[in-house]
Amino acid sequence: TLTGGDSSSTTTGSASPVPNSYESLEGGGYSDLAAPPAGVPAKQAPPFGYNYPTVHPAYQQNPAPKPDPSPSHGGYNPPGYQPYSQPFPSLSELSSALGGLGGVSEQEAETLRPVNLLQERNILPPKRAPPPEPNLSNDLRKVNCSPDTFRCTLTNIPQTQALLNKARLPLGLLLHPFRDLTQLPVITSNTIVRCRSCRTYINPFVSFLDQRRWKCNLCYRVNDVPDEFMYNPVTRSYGEPHKRPEVQNSTVEFIASSDYMLRPPQPAVYLFLLDVSHNAVESGYLNVFCQSLLDNLEKLPGDTRTHIGFVTFDSTVHFYNLQEGLSQPQMLVVSDIDDVFIPTHDSLLVNLKESKELVKDLLNALPGMFTHTRETQSALGPALQAAYKLMSPTGGRVSVFQTQLPTLGAGHLQSREDPNLRSSTKNVLHLGPATDFYKKLALDCSGQQIGVDLFLLSSQYSDLASLACVSKYSAGSVFYYPSFHHVHNPAQTQKFQKDLQRYLTRKIGFEAVMRIRCTKGLSIHTFHGNFFVRSTDLLSLANVNPDSGFAVQMSIEESLADTSLACFQAALLYTSSKGKRRIRVHTLCLPVVSQLSEVFAGADIQAISCLLANMAIDRSISSSLSDARDALVNAVVDCLTAYRANGSNIQPSGLIAPAALRLFPLYVLALLKQKALRTGTSTRLDERVFSMCELKSQPLQQIMRMVHPDLYRIDNMTEQAALHLNDSVIPQPPLLQLTAEKLTREGAFLLDCGSVMYLWVGKGCNETFIRDVLGFQNYASLPSNMTEIPELQTTYSERTRAFISWLLESRTFLPAFHVVKDDASTKTSFFQHLVEDRTESAFSYYEFLLHIQQQMSK
């Protein structure tokens, strides 16, 4: 049963007298870990079925899933695809012989197949490769956590730190813990079974020693099974604890009792902080915002206790009294911005249900109230301080809309960008904050469970590097719409509107903390993402939303030689928008290996690239951008050198990489050409900083699309190999490499970059396509600013729209769409994404490979 109203008592089990209560809520780390009791007999004969196989994975004869051997596999394999045909017959014979012996599985042999990058022209698979499957038994694989939620850079964990260092690859996890899930088992039992010493939640990878005892897979402590756990409510049977849903699913949600609450669960509280200076009114965002909020007022996540408030600011701060019973909203102006105070106590944050009419009146009147304003200053700092004071009692979410540099009051900023240095090839300055006002404010907000989200809609430099701090440490999100204007830039306006729709209606969790636990021997040393690191493994998230991803880096403190499985558990304790305290637990299990070749075989190149991107951004802020770029190149050089040193004694010419890592140089080159890390091309500082924020806070799929977009040819899509879903036929054109070589004037190509999509139409594109899909007679009549595909009744149009909707299926933020003609000015932004091509300041892909080869031979 849920007790929502009791005051809390901290949970037992954490021995240290911690004044910081959130630690004790979630349970401690290993500080009170005692040595395993000496009474445990050395030999356990577990009853059949209660234990999981602990045989070294290399000896398991798994029917490993075959890699993608579709016949249209591109040019690099001869037709009649043979898994082992390649230029190095001796190595392939060796690996196939080993595969037969059972020492190396087929899957592993495929991922270790050497690829000469200088000779293979087409290394891109026709479809985006799925994440590598860990080499586990089928039972474990079935219950293992979905890679969309929890992903590791190395699916085979090295046994020792020395082995990891030899591989020269980073070890880390990429998490997306609060992602929208279609199926989530929710456990409502009274007891939440956790390990006594390390406080790990029971998960599918524990071993049951007998019916009444279980062994933790993270600290190896033997625990008792409580009586309530013996009864399985799903199957109504007794005595089979291993069939309970907590032990059958690696992603579960527990309903937390009052032990997990420091205070009664807070209601949803939303505060909107709106810039109403002249600049803001000019840009016209207020109309879009008010309309969007009016449309979505019913759909704001919450219940009957939801509160809402509005604060507008220019050179003074304005509050709105929305007390139920007033005939219209009352504006209260506080002009003393050096010492902002809250004019009245009760009616600024009002119950949404009760004051709905007043809120609607305010939203309708707001755009009109400031049309003739002459205020050009912006007092963002004082407005944020006022918001903090207003929200401190409860916590909640503050959404800040800013259109210019804050110039007045505390936290005012100077323009630091020098436009002449935008294309500098040397160091880029001012990537870090200018003042710690916003960071300190974010920390205060985080302490009071207030999350601050920032929407920056400015056309001039607004020092996003300093402003973004207010969201970074309070677990908020940053949105940036450069050159936003409701008339001159309709594409941005549309995107803003669509983003607001998602932002206002998406799920939200309040007053959250997250803890990531690993098997004994592994430890986490660096965290990446928007949160505050409260202790060595506890992250404090004032708000948690389904669109943010996190990354952590790990090191191996002790040898993992005596275990064959390493497990990781992420537990997120949060208050849902309906005031229920929940714990979402994800558990991932991976095999431990002792051979360097196995480490390479299990490398997940997408996860590695994302983790390297996070590390590069940290390095560019703490040290310098050129350092970060060099470090990225060195990462590739070191890794391929390590592979070569470990491999056979054959030293062929060329650049050899294992198949698992064949896309590594390509992804690193794409990273070096990102707005965040590029030099030599003119990049505005705010856009660069925003690109850095995205790389650090987006989930993996979104980052990969941003870094290495998907290019398809869509004017000649056929039904061959199409998917048939729900009565519609979805064509599956192959992925093309990102080079202008693949573009042709006679075609139309779609570039999917995650947050924006381009449809490039060649000058000689066939008129059937232009007529049937785009609705215009010929190429010349295509407008230069088309932002959507019309719904025409032709097969071509249906097919194209089906394909695009299929691409957008599980996306949360819909991309902006641009139709780019070959001679339009927007074509530069399209061509910037073609990373394999040479630009005036960066290598082409082949040149980059030669550069790596040169570095390797030093």
Partner 1 sequence: MAFTFAAFCYMLALLLTAALIFFAIWHIIAFDELKTDYKNPIDQCNTLNPLVLPEYLIHVFFCVMFLCAAEWLTLGLNMPLLAYHIWRYMSRPVMSGPGLYDPTTIMNADILAYCQKEGWCKLAFYLLSFFYYLYGMIYVLVSS
Residues 6+ apart with CB under 8 A from 372: none
* Position 16 contacts partner 1 (CB under 8 A): yes
Closest CB to partner 1 among 212 and 440? 440
Alpha-carbon span 294 to 287, nearest angstrom: 11
* Position 432 contacts partner 1 (CB under 8 A): yes
Alpha-carbon span 536 to 554, nearest angstrom: 12
* Position 533 contacts partner 1 (CB under 8 A): yes
- Give the chain's end-to-end CA distance (angstroms, integer): 67
In 3-state terms, what secondary structure has residue 363? helix
Place of tokens 């802020």: 621
Question: How far does Cα 433 stand from its chain's mean position?
Answer: 23
Tell me how far apart the 2 most distant CA atoms of the chain are, in Å.
Answer: 86
Q: Which two tokens stand for residue 450?
A: 């207030």
Alpha-carbon span 640 to 634, nearest angstrom: 10
Closest CB to partner 1 among 468 and 670? 468
Closest CB to partner 1 among 319 and 437? 437
Place of tokens 């004694």: 649
Closest CB to partner 1 among 523 and 679? 523
* Position 371 contacts partner 1 (CB under 8 A): no
CB of 460 to partner 1, least distance (A): 22
Contact with partner 1 (CB under 8 A) among 3, 15, 31, 645: 31
Helix (H) or strand (E) holding 255: strand 251-255
CA proximity to 107, closest of 91, 79, 83, 87: 83
Whether the Cβ atoms of residue 676 and residue 431 lie closer than 8 Å to each other: no
DSSP assignments along 156-167, one per residue: SEESSHHHHHHH
Interface characters, 590-629, with partner 1 (x: CB under 8 A) = ----------------------------------------
CB of 666 to partner 1, least distance (A): 30
Q: Which stretch binds partner 1 (CB under 8 A): 18-26, 59-67, 391-399, 634-642?
A: 18-26
Mind spelling out the 3-state secondary structure of 347-359? CCCEECCCCHHHH
Region 390-429 residues binding partner 1, contact defined as CB under 8 A: none
Question: What type of residue is 286?
Answer: L
Contact with partner 1 (CB under 8 A) among 28, 172, 204, 665: 28
CB of 677 to partner 1, least distance (A): 21
Region 486-525 residues binding partner 1, contact defined as CB under 8 A: 523-525
CB of 432 to partner 1, least distance (A): 6
CB of 523 to partner 1, least distance (A): 8
* Position 430 contacts partner 1 (CB under 8 A): no
* Position 440 contacts partner 1 (CB under 8 A): yes
* Position 172 contacts partner 1 (CB under 8 A): no
CB of 107 to partner 1, least distance (A): 34
Whether the Cβ atoms of residue 761 and residue 770 lie closer than 8 Å to each other: yes
Task: Count Cβ neighbours within 10 Å for each residue of 318-328 and write b for 16 or more, e otherwise.
Answer: bbbbbeeeeee
Contact with partner 1 (CB under 8 A) among 235, 364, 536, 784: 536
* Position 29 contacts partner 1 (CB under 8 A): yes
* Position 535 contacts partner 1 (CB under 8 A): yes
Other CB atoms within 10 A of residue 509 CB:
25
CA proximity to 386, closest of 448, 435, 343, 449: 343
Q: Which stretch binds partner 1 (CB under 8 A): 190-198, 218-226, 437-445, 645-653?
A: 437-445
Contact with partner 1 (CB under 8 A) among 302, 433, 709, 815: 433
Closest CB to partner 1 among 113 and 515? 515
Whether the Cβ atoms of residue 683 and residue 417 lie closer than 8 Å to each other: no
* Position 710 contacts partner 1 (CB under 8 A): no
* Position 10 contacts partner 1 (CB under 8 A): no
Whether the Cβ atoms of residue 157 and residue 177 lie closer than 8 Å to each other: no
Whether the Cβ atoms of residue 506 and residue 563 lie closer than 8 Å to each other: no
Region of 754 (left: φ > 0; alpha: ψ -120 to 50; beta: rest) is left
* Position 18 contacts partner 1 (CB under 8 A): yes
Closest CB to partner 1 among 16 and 648? 16
Contact with partner 1 (CB under 8 A) among 498, 534, 801, 811: 534
Q: Measured between alpha carbons, how far is residue 411 from residues 310, 388, 466, 479, 595 in Å? A: 21, 14, 9, 20, 54
Q: Which stretch binds partner 1 (CB under 8 A): 26-34, 182-190, 260-268, 689-697?
A: 26-34
* Burial of 805 (C-beta count, 10 Å sphere; 0-12/13-18/19+): exposed
Alpha-carbon span 578 to 303, nearest angstrom: 5
CB of 684 to partner 1, least distance (A): 21
Region 548-587 residues binding partner 1, contact defined as CB under 8 A: 555
CB of 416 to partner 1, least distance (A): 12
CB of 524 to partner 1, least distance (A): 8
Whether the Cβ atoms of residue 427 and residue 625 lie closer than 8 Å to each other: yes
DSSP state for residue 45 in the 8-state scheme = -
CB of 31 to partner 1, least distance (A): 6
* Position 165 contacts partner 1 (CB under 8 A): no
Alpha-carbon span 837 to 821, nearest angstrom: 20
* Position 538 contacts partner 1 (CB under 8 A): yes
Closest CB to partner 1 among 454 and 816? 454
CB of 568 to partner 1, least distance (A): 17
- Tell me which long-range contacts 631-635 makes (C-beta under 8 A, separation of at least 24): 632/668, 632/671, 632/672, 632/677, 633/668, 633/672, 633/851, 633/852, 633/855, 634/855, 635/168, 635/170, 635/668
* Position 15 contacts partner 1 (CB under 8 A): no
* Position 388 contacts partner 1 (CB under 8 A): no
DSSP state for residue 200 in the 8-state scheme = P
CA proximity to 246, closest of 262, 221, 226: 226
Q: Which stretch binds partner 1 (CB under 8 A): 254-262, 431-439, 686-694, 739-747?
A: 431-439
Q: Which stretch binds partner 1 (CB under 8 A): 28-36, 56-64, 83-91, 594-602?
A: 28-36
Contact with partner 1 (CB under 8 A) among 180, 224, 418, 436: 436
Contact with partner 1 (CB under 8 A) among 67, 83, 447, 482: 447
Interface characters, 448-487, with partner 1 (x: CB under 8 A) = -------------------------x--------------
CA proximity to 813, closest of 732, 675, 697, 735: 697
* Position 253 contacts partner 1 (CB under 8 A): no
CB of 23 to partner 1, least distance (A): 6
Whether the Cβ atoms of residue 511 and residue 266 lie closer than 8 Å to each other: yes
Whether the Cβ atoms of residue 768 and residue 796 lie closer than 8 Å to each other: yes
Contact with partner 1 (CB under 8 A) among 60, 248, 351, 526: 526
Closest CB to partner 1 among 15 and 561? 15
Contact with partner 1 (CB under 8 A) among 435, 505, 559, 829: 435
* Position 23 contacts partner 1 (CB under 8 A): yes
E-strand ranges in 550-621 read: 550-556, 565-576, 581-593
DSSP state for residue 57 in the 8-state scheme = G
* Position 443 contacts partner 1 (CB under 8 A): yes
In 3-state terms, what secondary structure has residue 272? strand
**Total residues binding partner 1 (CB under 8 A):** 31
Q: Measured between alpha carbons, how far is residue 49 from residues 44, 135, 210, 425, 796 in Å? A: 14, 21, 10, 62, 55
Contact with partner 1 (CB under 8 A) among 437, 480, 503, 845: 437
* Position 367 contacts partner 1 (CB under 8 A): no
Residues lying near partner 1 in the complex (CB under 8 A) are found at 16, 18-20, 23, 28-29, 31, 432-437, 439-440, 443, 447, 473, 523-527, 532-536, 538, 555
